[in-house]
Homo-oligomer: A and B are copies of this chain.
């Protein structure tokens, strides 16, 4: 408990207006659906408000006051992201519409440039659909093959099988840092080392890790890393695609449009330099500025502190759930963060979820866009509680009370 000392949870909660919401008959909202999307601190709300009210203007193309202000804020946001993940260069940070947009961009551009019939891409069995379907679509288009790293019943990837899956046809490895369903923290550093030993680049899906752990892309040595703004306390419609400069130079652009071009004629069009080559059209600059405010906010609290607090909370929740009895937990990897998937024995997830809802407890039910994980366990879905640094042990206690209520009602 000592590492949560001086962690002023009341102050933090006061920064998130939505946490004061009451639902149904005046029940306080217990928001445990952070894996789906996170809430926004006042700082983000205010900066978006300010840009809408005072400084909105299209970026990069203007030679006037507002445009200057917006452009500077946008480019400063890029620098904030660079700093947050410790990328080497600002040019390596591309703003996209979200994780899904980023992965689709890589699938297209990497596919166009580097893949030929028969080539292979490796993902894992615990990927979110966003890190499965773009590769399946690519494989269909390019006649390449998708190979899968399995996990065991605790939700731990089999690294031996992983190494065996790698052949001289393997062109890219794309894995999630933290599973959105099992909470497993994958040994991505080791996986990247193995891939690089074989000369293969690696993409890390950081959609569920960027908000929970410190990430240093240079230390990880990943070639690509992607995440969404809305899952790291920022606005919707904005995301990040990080790529090592040497790769970004080689990849062709994904979308065509304004800003990403240099010279356009009907005969021949040349492309702009990095990062603009990958940012076609009017980007979500207010989203980017809002996301940067979110990153600054959590940086000030400190990612180490956040990780320690959340880990404590998860540990507490796991123990409480275990003591409740009659609960099956999916995902028991030794390295685990934030996500708690479970079922109450003999009770349908929907029945439980509906009672939770009316008690003010927001969890997710279903397959969490990771149907292969459900297929692994031969279930339709789970109840998923996912914690954030603004949640409390009292909220976990209340979740357990809700579970008790469900048990009483349905058995």
Partner of A372, one of B58, B130, B265, B283: B265
Chain B CB within 8 A of A201 CB = no
Chain B CB within 8 A of A215 CB = no
Partner of A17, one of B54, B65, B235: B54
Chain B CB within 8 A of A266 CB = yes
Question: Could you show 12 A-B contacts with beta carbons less than 8 Å apart?
Answer: A18-B52, A36-B282, A39-B56, A61-B369, A97-B101, A104-B254, A104-B257, A132-B256, A137-B256, A235-B237, A236-B282, A237-B283
> For A56, what are the chain B residues with a Cβ–Cβ distance below 8 Å?
18, 37, 39-40
Chain B CB within 8 A of A21 CB = yes
Q: Tell me the chain A residues, 338-373 only, with Cβ under 8 Å from chain B.
A: 350, 353-354, 356-357, 360-366, 368-369, 371-372
C-alpha spacing A149/B380, complex, angstroms: 54
Partner of A104, one of B23, B130, B280: B280
Chain B CB within 8 A of A253 CB = yes
Are B65 and A36 touching (Cβ within 8 A)? no
Please report the total number of A residues contacting B with Cβ < 8 Å.
96
Are A44 and B52 touching (Cβ within 8 A)? yes
Contact with B along A138-155 (1 / 0, CB 8 A): 000100001010000000
Q: Which residue of B lies closest to A180 (CB)?
A: B258
Are B21 and A66 touching (Cβ within 8 A)? yes
Partner of A141, one of B53, B112, B254: B112
> For A61, what are the chain B residues with a Cβ–Cβ distance below 8 Å?
36, 364, 366, 368-369
Are B286 and A133 touching (Cβ within 8 A)? no
Are B36 and A264 touching (Cβ within 8 A)? no
Chain B CB within 8 A of A317 CB = no
C-alpha spacing A19/B389, complex, angstroms: 39
Count identical subunits in the complex: 2
> For A63, what are the chain B residues with a Cβ–Cβ distance below 8 Å?
350, 353-354, 357, 364-366
C-alpha spacing A320/B335, complex, angstroms: 71
C-alpha spacing A148/B264, complex, angstroms: 14
> For A228, what are the chain B residues with a Cβ–Cβ distance below 8 Å?
281-282
Chain B CB within 8 A of A392 CB = no
Partner of A65, one of B52, B128, B269, B362: B362
Are A137 and B253 touching (Cβ within 8 A)? yes
Are A364 and B62 touching (Cβ within 8 A)? yes
Known: A100-B255, A266-B148. A281 touches B130 (CB 8 A): yes
Are A55 and B353 touching (Cβ within 8 A)? no
Q: Which residue of B lies closest to A134 (CB)?
A: B256
Are B133 and A66 touching (Cβ within 8 A)? no
> For A49, what are the chain B residues with a Cβ–Cβ distance below 8 Å?
45, 48-49
Are A266 and B146 touching (Cβ within 8 A)? yes
Partner of A264, one of B55, B133, B254, B261: B133
CB distance from A51 to the nearest CB of B (A): 9
CB distance from A22 to the nearest CB of B (A): 10
Q: Which residue of B lies closest to A252 (CB)?
A: B137
Chain B CB within 8 A of A375 CB = yes
Are A266 and B54 touching (Cβ within 8 A)? no
Chain B CB within 8 A of A284 CB = yes
> For A265, what are the chain B residues with a Cβ–Cβ distance below 8 Å?
371-372, 375
Partner of A255, one of B29, B44, B134, B354: B134
Task: List the 6 closest pairs (A to B, CB-CB), nearest first.
Answer: A100-B281, A237-B284, A133-B256, A237-B237, A36-B58, A100-B257
C-alpha spacing A136/B261, complex, angstroms: 12
Chain B CB within 8 A of A1 CB = no
CB distance from A12 to the nearest CB of B (A): 16
C-alpha spacing A61/B368, complex, angstroms: 8
Partner of A129, one of B29, B104, B235, B257: B257
Are A371 and B263 touching (Cβ within 8 A)? yes
> For A237, what are the chain B residues with a Cβ–Cβ distance below 8 Å?
97, 235-238, 283-284, 286-287
Are B54 and A18 touching (Cβ within 8 A)? yes
